[in-house]
Structure formats: structure tokens, C-alpha cells
Amino acid sequence: MRLELHGVTKRYGRTCALDDVTAEFQPGEIVAVIGANGAGKTTLLRCLAGLAAPDEGSVIVEDAPLRRDRLDVRRRMMFLPDFPPLFPGLSVLRNIGQRVLIHEADKPGIEERIAAWLLALDLLPLGEVPVATLSRGQTYKTALISMLAVDPEIWLLDEPMASGMDPQGIAFFRREARAATERGRTIIYTTQMLDVAEQFSDRVMILSDGGLKAFAPVAEITSGDSGGLESVLLKLRDPA
Amino acid sequence: MKAEREMMRRLDGAVRSLREHHRATPSGEIIRRRDPENSPIVRYGVAFLVFAIFSTASFEFVKFAKAGETGIALAGLSFLLLNLSVYFAARIIWALWSHRDIAELASLPADVRWVLWRQMRCALPGAALFGVILFLCLLTYASAQRLDAWRFAGLIGMSPVIVASTIALAVLLACWPVARTIAHFSLGIGWIAMISAMYQETGREIVKHTLAASGEWLSLLIPTGWCVRSALAFVLTGHESWLWFLLLVLVLMGAVALCMTRLMFITKLALDHRLVVTIAEAPVWMEGAARDEFIEALSKHDKADETEIRKAIAGREFLMPLPQGKPSLVDRLFWSTLNEEFKRVSLWICGDRWPRLGRRWVSSLAWLLVFWGIALVTRQWLPQLTFFVLVMGALRGARLDGGASPLDSAGIIHDAPLKPRVTMFLTAWFGLCDLAISLPLVIAHAAFIAWLKDIALHQAITWGVCLMLGVLALRIGRQCVSSRSIGWWRPLRWLAWALSICFILTLASASVTTGGLAMVALWIAILLLAVANAAFHCWLLESMRAEETPDMKFCTARD
């Protein structure tokens, strides 16, 4: 599923969250979006998910503009905010089941896979427990399992590495995400952890004040700069 | 729903089989064992037992009570307790029902019928309680008037018809685009009718008659209840003005319709608050102003263009989530709607730039002026309402209790799960602020009551101040416990409410009796218990956090 941004600009009042961003995402790649707080990372994901309409420009999915009413397209992508929207009063299993049904992703054998993921993420004993009683990390894991079960073509994740998941959970996510790219899935996530972005991405997108400063493989961005991504970001912040 | 049930069956099967394979112990059992109040069945079961015992005891007591204020007050109290018992019994059934997944939230509503069903389910406990209140009122009335069997049977036969037809009509109204307008209109007519009736001898007689029959406090709970009882008493006593009766029925319908629209509003707020827009589109059944409100909320929430949303939602089905938490009974009733209206007015007057407390001032003043106006016209029992309203206002102020109700979560302050101690401190602080704001109003009102009822000013002021302190204590207790954490707090709160009202009435009627004093004592005891409960809860949470170990997978709240 090809995803493109064509001159996307998004303003919140006087604040320009995204400023004329043009980019293209290829199937089967992992993109880490980095930038300072307020650089427009989350807005970018929201625009990509169809949750926020650009003021100018457009988001193109398979050569057609993405609109909110394109449910057929939106079902093929999934956005996981830093605080995933789950039904707090419903159990872990029910939340996952609902998400699978909503995205029309019910396939034979899905239940076994979900149970296996629950086991891998230490959630198996908590299947009947209401989500409201879980910790943040466990809640995020629930949402992550929903995403795995839905297996959307485009994964949009806001700060998955800072979601409260334990190291096993993060390792699980990275493993599953890498496996998903082999199935042609596109994974776009935001992060503030530069070492993660360096190691766990095919390309890195750097945003600063809403503008796209770089969108290339890490090696290309950091070529000639021994300080890595951190140095690049610092230079962006203070060019002098 | 069928698809969801099938999916859940498969998931349950897979999870169970994997559990058996790994011999994992469901930590849900640990949670239940360590925190039994997490189970709604246990929670409401305890509540039911408490109230059943209380109500039985009070009924026994009432049997021996002579006619008079104490007897009436106790009868009123016992009604409330019995009603609550039935209410909680209904909740137990509901919890059991939900546990069996028979009528749990449907994930994929096929059409508008599902929405209707959802709304009706939300309204079910309220309707049940309302029916029970009605029945008991009739019973009291029949008993007080020594009605013969056939007349009582006639009454009993009539009430379900009224309730059923009203609810049916209300559902229709609620689904109608102009429901809210109609509801307000009928309610307005009803209020006018009632106030007009107060001028007439017949009206006054009816009011007096009915109030004496079933306890004045009940009429203060909901004007709707008052209307129904007045209407029934009117029929019983054979007054000829059917028009008045019809107007009262209209009020009732309006009120219930308002409740229904209120439920929709709550749902909308919940929608606005949650990020469900990722999976939801706007409802087709929401039209006109409600739809505009929805779009506005959606665009604010989503920071999206309204035109885009309008395009997107055209002709779309709607996926409705369960509101976070359940609205309280009072929220369901139209008090809160009226209060919201006043809030809107105050927002309109003050704008967004004014601090929240300033807006509350205007809102409280508006309430006060309205009831003073009514009280000046009638010079009857209505001033007592003001106290009640003030208490309501104080209780419904700023809340920081972690989103116990959708109204809270959609309120001015966004809910944030806070640590109990922080919550307690903040609540106490806000409570003190509220107290500082409300105190002048309370004193002013006390002076008004003193003048109206010809009692000593200092006495009235003392009542008011005591009341506010009591409310503050209630608030501190309330804020420290979320609705799901301490099971026995909620019934306790209800009891505290009932006793508060009895307390207010006893004081406001300036005739303190033994029964009244007993109720005051009980009320204070409940308040102390509430504070102790809050302190206990803090300790419990802290100790649970301290004991938490990774292998137990036990979490008390979202971190």
C-alpha cells in the first residue's frame, strides 16, 4: 500500500504543526519519525491515519486522496496513539475481538495467534480482566495485540518505545514489526530515542517546526557526521 | 452482536486451551480474591443486603410510629431505602446479565435499532427505580388514606401504564430530531402549570395532601416524582380539572424525554472524550442541533475541518462505545440537564476567559434567583429546594476523581488518574475554594429563609454553614474513591444523600424532632464514615502498590 504526502500543511490556530511536507512511504519499510517536542510528529501520524485533515495538500493512498469517509482504506491502516483508545470497562479479550471485527480482519486461526501473542506478552492470565485495571504498559500491549491481529497494511504508532511496555514487550514489538515488513507492511512510528531510530528503521524522517528536514536512511543522514542522529538534530536546533 | 459472540467464543476457547497447556493461573482470580469489590456482583450484592436490612428495620419501626412528622420522615426514609434495595437488586441482575455476555456492549451496531436498545438499557435501572418509587408512593398513599382494595388495585394498574407509555413516548421523542426542544417545552409548560396551580386553592390542597401522604423529601428529589404523585393524588381525590392532570403527565413525559436526550448527550460527550473517532463515524440518527454539536466537538477533538467531517459523516452508520463509567441516577434525571443549561448560560455570560470558579458563581446565582423567585411567589415549601440545589451545585462542581462519569471526563478539567494523596489534597483545596465561593450564597440564602420562615438568622446561618461543611466532607470522601474501587462507598453516598435531604428538611422546617435529630446524628456518622472510608482507601491503595510484585500481575490502577 503506497502512501504519499503531497505538500501537507496543517495548522492549529496560529501554530503550524506541519509545513508543506512531501514524502512517500514504500511498502515493507520501517520509518522512524523523530524531532523535538511539538515538531509535528503526532500530527503527521494523524494526517496519515485520516484523523486530521490537512489544511493544504493531501495524503494520497494508492493514487487516491485519503478522506475520513474512505473506511475501506482506513481499515487497512491502524493508528496506535501513545494512549491507545480502548474500552476501559471491557476485558482484554473483548477489546481485541472488537478491534478485529471492526477492521474486518477475522481470519481462520486468528484466535490461536491472539492467544500466543497474549502468552508472549504476559497477558494470557489477564484475558478477562477489564482494561481499566491494567497498567499503561499492559494496556499498550493489548492495543498492540489488536494491531497484530488486524495486521493492517500500514502501522502508525506514536511513541511505541515510550509506551510503558517492558523490555520483553518492546523486543516483541520490534520482532513482529520486522516480520510484518517482510509481508509488505509499512511501519511508521515516532520516537525520541535516537539509538532506537538508528537501529530500528530503514529510513528516518526528521521534522523540525513542522517542516521536513530529512527523509533518508540513517547512514545517508549522518554521513560525514560522526555524532550520529543526535548531532544532526542538535545542528538543526542550533545551526551556528 | 452475533459476530462478536462468535469471536469471543473462539478467543475464550483458544485462551483457555493455551492456559491449560501452560497451566497459567488467571490473575483475574487474584484480583478478585484480593479486591472482591472489583466484582459488580459482590459490590451490588453487599449494597443490596445493607439496604434490605436497613429498609426492613425502618419499616418495622414505622409500624410502631404514630402519625406525625417523625413517622412520615421515617416512612420517607424507609421508602428510599427500599427503593434503593430494589435498585441494587436490579443492578445485580444486570451485572449477572452482563457477566453472561448476553447483553454486553455490542461491538458492531448493525443499525439504529441497536442504538435504541443501548439507550433503553442505560435507562433501565432509572426506569425500574422510578417505577418502584411510584409503587411505594401509591402504597403509602393508599395506606394513609385507608383506600379500599379495588381503588388501590386501580392505582397499581394505572401506574405501569403511565410509566410504560411515558417511556415509550420518551424513546420516540429522544429519537426525534427535535426531541430536546419538545422536552424543554413540555417541561416549561409543566413548571408553569405547577406554579399556577400553587396559586389556586385546589392546587395547594393537592400539594399539601400529597406531601403529607408520602414525605416531602421525595418531592425534592425529582420534580417529576412530585408531578406524578400530585397527578395521582389529584385523580384519587376526584378533582375535576383533567387539564391540570394532563399537563402534569406532559411534564413527566418531558422529563423522561429529557433524560433520554441526556443519555444521548452523555454518550456524545464520551465519544468526544475518547479517541473513538478512529473507528467511528457520526450517527445518522443524530440530526439538527445535536448533529451540529457533535460535528463541532469532533472537529475540536480531531482538529479537523468541519466541512470535511460533514462530508465524511453523510449517511454513515455509527459505532457507539460504552460511555466511560455509568452516569449516576441524578445525572440521568433532568436536574443535571437544567444545571447544564445554567452552565451554558453562565458560559455565555462569562465566556471562556473567566475562570471556572467565576462561571460557577454565575451558575449558582442563577439557580438561587430562580428559586428565590418561586419561593417569593409561593411562600411555601419551595425555598427548601434552594438548599438542595446549592448542595447539588456544590457536589457537582470541579471533580478530579479520575473520570468516574462521562460528564466528569468531558468537563472543564480533564480527568487524570492521580495518586490518592494528591487527589485528596487537590479535592480538599478545591473544596475549600468552593466553600469560600458558596459561603456568601449560603449565608444570603439562610438570611432569606430566616426572613421567610420567621426564624432566627444565626440559626439559619448555622444550618447553612453546617451543611456546607458536610458537603465538603462528602466531597473529600467522594473524590478519594473512584466508582469502581470501593463498592460500599456508593450506597453509603446514597444514604448520605438521603439523610442530607432529611437533615435539610428537618432544619428548614424549623421543627427539630427526635426523629429529625436521630437522622442528623446518623448523617454525621455517615459523613465520618465516608472520610474514614477515603482514608482507608488511600491506605489500601498505597499498601497494594507496595506489595505489588511482577509475578502477581496485580495493578490497582493505571500508572
The end-to-end CA distance of chain B, in Å, is 33
Identify the pLDDT of residue A84: 79
- Which pLDDT band, with edges at 50, 70 and 90, does A6 fall under? very high
Burial class (CB in 10 A: 0-12, 13-18, 19+), B233: buried
Is B26's CB within 8 Å of A127's CB?
Answer: yes
Task: Give strand pairing partners of A156.
Answer: A79, A188
Identify the pLDDT of residue A85: 72
Q: Which of B321, B322, B294, B324 is nearest to B309 (CA)?
A: B294
Residues of chain B positioned with their CB less than 8 A from the CB of A111: 7, 10-11, 13-15
Is A126's CB within 8 Å of B281's CB?
Answer: no
Task: Give strand pairing partners of B148.
Answer: none
- Which pLDDT band, with edges at 50, 70 and 90, does A29 fall under? very high
Is B277's CB within 8 Å of A51's CB?
Answer: yes
* Average pLDDT for B336-365: 44
- Extract the C-alpha cell encoding A34: 523523530
Between the alpha carbon of residue A16 and those of residues A9, A20, A54, A207, the distances in Å are 7, 10, 11, 12
Identify the pLDDT of residue A34: 92
Three-class secondary structure assignment of B336-372: HHHHHHHHHHHHHHHCCCCCHHHHHHHHHHHHHHHHH
Residues of chain A positioned with their CB less than 8 A from the CB of B275: 81, 83, 85
Identify the pLDDT of residue B166: 46
- Extract the C-alpha cell encoding A194: 535516537
**For strand A15-25 and strand A3-12, is the pairing parallel, antiparallel, or unpaired?**
antiparallel
d(CA B17, CA B9): 12
- Which pLDDT band, with edges at 50, 70 and 90, does B525 fall under? low
- The verdict on A132 touching B (C-beta cutoff 8 Å) is yes
Identify the pLDDT of residue B145: 52
Bigger pLDDT: B551 vs B72: B72
DSSP H or E run through A213:
strand A211-216
- The pLDDT > 90 percentage for chain B reads 0
**Tens digit of each residue's pLDDT (9 = 90 or more) over A44-66:** 998 888 777 888 899 998 888 88
- The verdict on A171 touching B (C-beta cutoff 8 Å) is no
ipTM higher than the 0.95 cut:
no
Q: How far is A224 from chain B (nearest CA, A)?
A: 40
Bigger pLDDT: B396 vs B368: B368
Is B311's CB within 8 Å of A69's CB?
Answer: yes
Between the alpha carbon of residue B15 and those of residues A93, A114, B442, B456, B550, the distances in Å are 9, 8, 58, 70, 21
Round the average pLDDT of chain B to a whole number and report it: 45
Name every residue whose Cβ is closer than 8 Å to that of residue B204 and which is 6 or more positions away in sequence. B197, B198, B380
Is B553's CB within 8 Å of A125's CB?
Answer: yes
Q: Which of B2, B5, B7 to mutate to test the interface with A (most CBs of A within 10 A)?
A: B7
Phi first, then psi, for residue B396 (nearest 5°) are: -95, 25
Identify the pLDDT of residue B465: 58
Bigger pLDDT: A166 vs B493: A166
Q: Which of A44, A46, A70, A98 to mutate to test the interface with B (most CBs of B within 10 A)?
A: A98
Identify the pLDDT of residue B324: 33
Identify the pLDDT of residue B472: 52
Is A68's CB within 8 Å of B312's CB?
Answer: yes
Name every residue whose Cβ is closer than 8 Å to that of residue A165 and which is 6 or more positions away in sequence. A137, A140, A141, A144, A173
Bigger pLDDT: A46 vs A188: A188
Q: Is A31 helix (H, G, I), strand (E, B) or coil?
A: strand
**Tens digit of each residue's pLDDT (9 = 90 or more) over B454-470:** 556 665 555 555 555 55
Is A51's CB within 8 Å of B302's CB?
Answer: yes
- The verdict on A58 touching B (C-beta cutoff 8 Å) is no
The answer to whether B468 and B461 are in contact (CB under 8 A) is: no
* Average pLDDT for B501-516: 45
Name every residue whose Cβ is closer than 8 Å to that of residue B122 and which is 6 or more positions away in sequence. B263, B326, B327, B332
The closest CB to that of B18, out of A79, A83, A119, belongs to A119
Residues of chain B positioned with their CB less than 8 A from the CB of A12: 303
- The verdict on A162 touching B (C-beta cutoff 8 Å) is no
* Average pLDDT for B204-214: 39
Phi first, then psi, for residue B380 (nearest 5°) are: -110, -130
Closest residue on chain B to A88 (Cα): B324
Q: Is B147 helix (H, G, I), strand (E, B) or coil?
A: coil
- Extract the C-alpha cell encoding A192: 525520541
Q: Which residue is it, cell 529510513?
A: A203
Would you say residue A33 has pLDDT above 90? Answer: yes
Task: Give strand pairing partners of A212.
Answer: A207
d(CA B516, CA B506): 6
* Average pLDDT for B189-217: 39
Q: Which of A94, A140, A142, A163 to mutate to test the interface with B (most CBs of B within 10 A)?
A: A94
Is A125's CB within 8 Å of B19's CB?
Answer: yes
Is A125's CB within 8 Å of B13's CB?
Answer: no
Q: Which of B30, B31, B102, B107 to mutate to test the interface with A (most CBs of A within 10 A)?
A: B107
Q: Which of B16, B39, B558, B559 to mutate to test the interface with A (most CBs of A within 10 A)?
A: B558
**Tens digit of each residue's pLDDT (9 = 90 or more) over B110-165:** 333 444 444 445 445 545 555 555 555 555 555 555 555 555 555 455 444 444 44
Q: How far is A122 from chain B (nearest CA, A)?
A: 9
The closest CB to that of A127, out of B15, B108, B276, belongs to B15
